[in-house]
A and B are shown apart, each in its own frame.
Chain A
Amino acid sequence: MNLFTLPFLPILLVILLLMAGASFLLRAWSNWVAIGGAAAAALLGLGIWQVDFSLPMWIMPAGWNIDLTAALTRYGYTFQLQQDNMPVVVLSLLITACALLLAANSPRYSTFPALAWLLVTGYIFVALLTSGPKTPVVAVPLALAILAAGGIFVLQGNVAADAAGPLRMLLPPLLAAPLFLLAAWYIDQIPLNPQDLALTRIAGTLMGLGLLALMAPFPLHSSLPVAAETATAPAILLVSLLRQLAVLHLIAQVLFAYPFVYQQTDWPVWLSWLGLLTTIWGGIASIGALNAGRLWAYAALSDWGLIIVVLAAPGLRSWTLVLFLFTLRVISMATSAVGINALQTTVGSLDLQRLRGVGSRMPWNSAAVLLGGLGLVGFPLSAGFAAHWAALLTLAEIDWRPAAIVLIASAGAFVGYVRLARMMFGYLENRRIPRERTLSAAVALTALAVTIAVAIAPQLLSDTISWALTAFG
Chain B
Amino acid sequence: MIEAIFTAFGGLFASGLGVLLLAAIAGAIFILWDWRIALAGAFLLHLGSSSVLVAIHHVPGLLAAGQMMAITLSLAILAVSGILQSSSLTTRQAANWPLRLMALLFITGAWWFLDTGYALPLFSKMETDLLVWTALCGLALWSFSSSPLMAGVAVLIWSTPLYALASVLLPGSGLTAMIGIADLILALACGYLILLEPAARATIARRPALQWMVQAAEYVRRQLRQVAATEQTDPSSRGGNVATDPLREKAV
Contacts and interface: CB of A to CB of B under 8 A. Distances in A.
B105 interface: no
Nearest to B181: A146
Contacts of B122: 185
| B interface majority secondary structure | helix
B146 A181 contact: no
B182 A145 contact: yes
Interface in B138-194: 142, 146-148, 151, 155, 158, 161-162, 165-166, 169-170, 172-175, 177-179, 181-182, 185-186, 188-190, 192-193
A132 interface: yes
B121 interface: yes
Contacts of B186: 145-146, 149, 170
Given A150-B185, A167-B193, A182-B165, A134 B120 contact: no
A255 interface: no
A134 B173 contact: yes
| A interface majority secondary structure | helix
Nearest to B131: A178
A160 interface: yes
Interface string A128-146: 0000111000110011011
A251 B52 CA distance: 35
Contact of A181 (B142, B170, B190, B192): B170
Query: How big is chain A's contact interface, by range?
Result: 35 or more
A158 B196 CA distance: 7
A159 B155 contact: no
Nearest to B147: A163
Interface string A226-243: 000000000000000000
B142 A163 contact: no
Query: How big is chain B's contact interface, by range?
Result: 35 or more
A146 B185 contact: yes
Nearest to A185: B169
Contacts of A166: 189, 193
A156 B192 contact: yes
B204 to A, nearest CB: 18
B178 A139 contact: yes
Interface of B: 120-122, 135, 142, 146-148, 151, 155, 158, 161-162, 165-166, 169-170, 172-175, 177-179, 181-182, 185-186, 188-190, 192-193, 196-198
Interface of A: 75-77, 132-134, 138-139, 142-143, 145-146, 149-150, 152-153, 156, 158-164, 166-167, 170-171, 174, 177-178, 181-182, 184-186, 188
10 contacts: A75-B174, A76-B173, A77-B174, A133-B173, A134-B173, A139-B175, A156-B192, A161-B198, A163-B146, A163-B193
